[in-house]
């Protein structure tokens, strides 16, 4: 299967009062048809900015996409006209945001909000659009969907609101659904409801998903492939099982070890990664993880490692060392 979407060397910067923040520093990845890709990283690692840049949703200024290509259906989305990209956003590629409280318009009825993409993209009449909205709300398991079309967002609970937002993302039958921490603001039992729901819908409709999260647990059961980001760069990429069986970047290893595990007997102590994530005031010319890395060698502080394949199929790591053997990578 060919790539549905491919991102090449994306770079995004923000101008702030303290200087220029290099949020994304050359990110490349591909998404295949029907695939679920997890993007994992801590706050400020550039995971959200990467996908927002893809869809050109970065507020400009202060943000600016300085380099890169985002190829979708043979066209570079970064070079499209505003009108062109508007045809893609919300219909071919749609997005679900973290906070269901702020991503809905509080003074607009649910039915109108959910059906709006249909009116805009497919030119449907009000009546038809509302009928489809009711169907899609049923799909995301909102009880009495038909009667609730005339309700306002405040009449829904957090979990229900996130379902509405997902319904809005699905209504034009997109090829790609981008979910930016869609369950972070929710309680665990509601989070389980939403992830199960998305899995079911994915299997029914067959769309591709990009799922952004800071929680290595959530993507474990959901993604086919996982990308780990740090300091505005992808530092490791692998099929999900391979990544969890054999994490190979010191940061990924540290992250996995620092998690308390319910599936294992209790460790006496958690292994922590010392130090704090970097503030990216310059484009890192060296490995951004070097200041916190246990395995650091002098080369790490001078040269930036490229994301290169290691051993197994589809496993890529950006590190000068093989932390399992302690030897330098080629």
Partner 1 sequence: MSEQEVLLILKDLVKHFPIRQGIIFKRETGAVHAVDGVSFDIYKGETLGLVGESGCGKSTTGRAIMRLFKPTSGQIVFDGVNLVDLPTEEMRKTRKNLQMIFQDPYACLNPRMTVGNMIGEAMVIHRVGGRNEIRDRVTDLLQKVGLDPAFSNRYPHEFSGGQRQRIGIARALALEPKLIVCDEPISALDVSIQAQVVNLLEDLQEDFGLTYLFIAHDLSMVHHIADRVAVMYLGVIVEIADCTELWDHPLHPYTLALMSAVPIPNPRLEEKRKRIILEGDVPSPINPPSGCRFRTRCNLVQDVCAEEKPEMREMTPGHFVACHMV
Cβ 292 to partner 1 shortest distance, Å:
8
Task: Pick from 12, 113, 175, 191 the residue near partner 1 by CB under 8 A.
Answer: 191
How many Cα atoms are found within 13 Å in the side-chain-facing hemisphere of 253?
Answer: 16
Q: E strands within 33-74?
A: 36-40, 63-72
| CB nearer to partner 1: pick between 265 and 325 | 265
How many Cα atoms are found within 13 Å in the side-chain-facing hemisphere of 187?
Answer: 6
Q: What are the helix (H) ranges across the chain? A: 47-54, 82-88, 110-122, 126-139, 145-148, 158-170, 188-205, 216-220, 240-245, 250-258
Nearby residues of 39 by Cβ (< 8 Å), 6 or more positions away: 47, 50, 51, 210, 211, 212, 213, 226, 227, 229
- Between CA 324 and CA 227 the distance in angstroms is 20
Check binding of 244 to partner 1 (CB under 8 A): yes
Check binding of 296 to partner 1 (CB under 8 A): no
Check binding of 188 to partner 1 (CB under 8 A): yes
| CB nearer to partner 1: pick between 204 and 274 | 274
Check binding of 220 to partner 1 (CB under 8 A): yes
Q: Rounded to the nearest 10 degrees, what angle do helices 158-170 and 188-205 cross at?
A: 20
Check binding of 98 to partner 1 (CB under 8 A): no
Three-state DSSP state, 232: coil
Could you give the strand order of the β-sheet that contains 75-76, starting from the edge strand earlier in sequence?
19-32, 3-16, 63-72, 75-76
Cβ 90 to partner 1 shortest distance, Å:
28
| CB nearer to partner 1: pick between 30 and 193 | 193
| CB nearer to partner 1: pick between 245 and 303 | 245
Cβ 141 to partner 1 shortest distance, Å:
9
Check binding of 162 to partner 1 (CB under 8 A): no
Interface region with partner 1, contact rule CB under 8 A, candidates 94-102, 123-131, 132-140, 191-199: 191-199
Cβ 219 to partner 1 shortest distance, Å:
8
With CB under 8 A, what is the number of residues at the site for partner 1?
43
Interface region with partner 1, contact rule CB under 8 A, candidates 61-69, 73-81, 90-98, 181-189: 181-189
How many Cα atoms are found within 13 Å in the side-chain-facing hemisphere of 155?
Answer: 12
- x/- letters, 261..280, toward partner 1 (CB under 8 A): xxx--xx-xxxxxx-xx---
- x/- letters, 38..57, toward partner 1 (CB under 8 A): ----xx--------------
Cα maximum dimension of the chain: 66
- Between CA 114 and CA 163 the distance in angstroms is 11
Which pair of tokens denotes residue 118?
Answer: 């249909």
Q: Which residues bind partner 1 (CB under 8 A)?
A: 42-43, 157, 159-160, 187-193, 195-196, 214-218, 220-221, 240-241, 244, 254-256, 258-263, 266-267, 269-274, 276-277
């Amino acid at each position: 299967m060919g790539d549905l979407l491919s991102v090449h060397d994306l770079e995004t910067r923000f101008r702030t009062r303290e200087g220029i923040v290099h949020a994304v520093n050359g990110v490349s990845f591909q998404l295949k048809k029907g695939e679920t890709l997890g993007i994992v990283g801590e706050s400020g690692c550039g995971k959200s900015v990467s996908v927002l840049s893809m869809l050109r949703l970065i507020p400009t200024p202060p943000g600016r996409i300085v380099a890169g290509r985002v190829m979708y259906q043979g066209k570079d989305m970064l070079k499209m006209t505003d009108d062109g990209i508007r045809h893609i956003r919300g219909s071919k590629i749609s997005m679900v945001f973290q906070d269901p409280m702020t991503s809905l318009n509080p003074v607009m009825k649910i039915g109108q909000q959910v059906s709006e993409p249909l009116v805009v993209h497919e030119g449907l009449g009000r009546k038809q659009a509302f009928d489809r909205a009711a169907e899609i709300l049923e799909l995301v398991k909102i009880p009495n969907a038909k009667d609730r079309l005339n309700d306002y967002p405040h009449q829904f609970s957090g979990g229900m609101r996130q379902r509405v937002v997902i319904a809005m993302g699905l209504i034009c039958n997109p090829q790609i659904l981008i979910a930016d921490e869609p369950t972070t603001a929710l309680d665990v039992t509601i989070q389980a409801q939403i992830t199960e729901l998305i899995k079911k819908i994915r299997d029914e409709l067959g769309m591709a998903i990009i799922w952004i999260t800071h929680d290595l647990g959530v993507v474990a059961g959901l993604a086919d492939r996982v990308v780990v980001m740090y300091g505005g760069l992808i530092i490791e990429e692998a099929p999900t099982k391979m990544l969890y069986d054999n994490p190979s970047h010191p940061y990924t290893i540290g992250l996995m070890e620092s998690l308390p595990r319910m599936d294992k007997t209790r460790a006496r102590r958690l292994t922590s990664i010392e130090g704090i994530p970097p503030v990216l005031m310059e484009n890192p010319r060296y490995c951004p993880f070097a200041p916190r890395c246990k395995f650091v060698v002098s080369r790490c502080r001078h040269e930036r490692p490229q994301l290169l394949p290691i051993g197994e199929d589809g496993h890529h790591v950006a590190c000068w060392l093989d932390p399992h053997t302690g030897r330098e990578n080629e």
